[in-house]
Structure 1
């Protein structure tokens, strides 16, 4: 098993499974490199899919009728994407998925996985835990949008802007550049410039960003996504 895949499995709910069950799930799986900015699944798609993020960062976003978009989940190493598509009747993608940076995913065979879950209670239990995590994650997303710290809201808004920049075809650059001033950022997150400046300073000192007069560079999107807390279990947290 590839070291990167092994690390991703260890950070996922599939870490609950013993090696024979894991090997069965990996039958027919393939590694795919997804360039930054690529939208891999679009709103309205009906295809059943299951992917494990091996490295990089994937955003799951929804789009309003006026064209505005909001990312509702950031998926890092160990995140599973598409489990709901395997079990929801009449499934249609409620949003899109996009690689924020160059990303590697392991695409598993939904047929293999569903058969394994039907025949092995341990596999079914692992995916029940995954679905529970996703349900709780989206519930937390509601409160996170309204009641979190300014630093959290700044990190989320910067990642949302970076996602939009990347979708516009500018994601191939080694550093994501967000054209936003501190004043505009303060207005967007519902705070004042002085508080936002302190939040940006903290993020800058963490190595996630660098700040400039009329733009912000996101040096480490994965590190920045960790500011969002519960959207993804930290790497290595699974046992």
Structure 2
């Protein structure tokens, strides 16, 4: 098992599974490198899936009939995607998944996962804990969306703006990687998150000092999107 896979497993609910069971669970799993801004699963997809994020950031979002979108979860290394699809009757994926950055996934066999759930109580517990966490996340999001700190609201808004891109907003990094750039003024950010411009200036200064963002004349460059995801306490387990 590669070191980065072991690190992602350690950050996930699978960390409690014994090594021999892990080898069985991951047998035949596919390691997949996915470019930034790729939709990996479409809303309405009926196929079961379970994927572990090894690196990168993925957003889970819904889209209204008039084209508006709402992000319901951001996921980073160690996040499991698709657990609900394994056991839901007449499953239809309720949201779409899109990579926000270049992302490496480990795609597990749904049939093998279900078989291991039947055979190993620790695998079953890991899946149950993942499902429980997803339910709690959506419950927590209601009050946390209202009572989150300004910094937490800023973190989510920056990610939302960076992921809701248009072709003219794309910027390439040193290795032709698409960078996450926010094109918004400090006043626009302040209005969006419901605070004063001075507070936005202070928070951006903090984020720059911590190496999470960089600002220049062209916008706000998100250097470490996974750290922004971590800021959002409503986003449990991601």
TM-score, length-scaled by structure 2? 0.91
How far 1:214 moved relative to its partner? 6.1
Matched ranges for 1:28-43 at <5 A: 28-43=28-43
Stretch of structure 1 that moved more, 103-112 or 160-169? 160-169
Structure 2 residue aligned with 1:208: 212
* Equivalent in the alignment of 1:121: 121
Q: 1:62-93, CA deviations, whole angstroms, 9 ceiling, x for partnerless residues? A: 12333222221111111100000011111111
CA offset at residue 171 of structure 1? 7.6
> Are 2:55 and 1:59 aligned?
no
Q: Specify which structure has the bigger relative contact order, considering alpha-carbon pairs within 8 angstroms and separated by 6 or more residues.
A: 1
- 2:156 aligned residue: 156
TM-score computed with the length of structure 1 as normaliser: 0.91
Q: Which of 118-127 and 152-161 deviates more?
A: 118-127
After superposition, the CA RMSD in angstroms is 2.0
> Secondary structure of 2:116's partner?
helix
Note closer, same or farther for the CA distance 1:166–1:19 as it changes in structure 2 (3 Å cut).
Answer: farther
C-alpha spacing 1:169/1:54, structure 2 compared with 1 (3 Å): farther
| CA distances 1:3-33 after superposition (whole Å, capped 9, x unpaired) | 1111111111011111111111101101000
- Partner of 2:164, secondary structure, is helix
Alignment counterpart, residue 177 of structure 1, candidates 162, 178, 181: 181
User: Does the 8 Å contact 2:171/2:181 carry over to 1?
Assistant: no
Match of 1:228 in 2: 232
1:91-141 deviation digits (Å, cap 9, x = unpaired)? 111111111110100000000000111222221111111111111122222
* d(CA) in 1 for partners of 2:189, 2:66: 21
User: In the superposition, relative to structure 1, how do residues 220 and 7 fare at CA in structure 2: closer, same or farther (>3 Å)?
Assistant: same
Q: 1:120 to 1:48 in 2, by over 3 A?
A: same
Whether contact under 8 Å (1:76, 1:222) holds in the other structure is yes
Give the 3-state SS of the residue equivalent to 1:217 in structure 2: strand
C-alpha distance in structure 2 between counterparts of 1:213 and 1:22, whole Å? 48
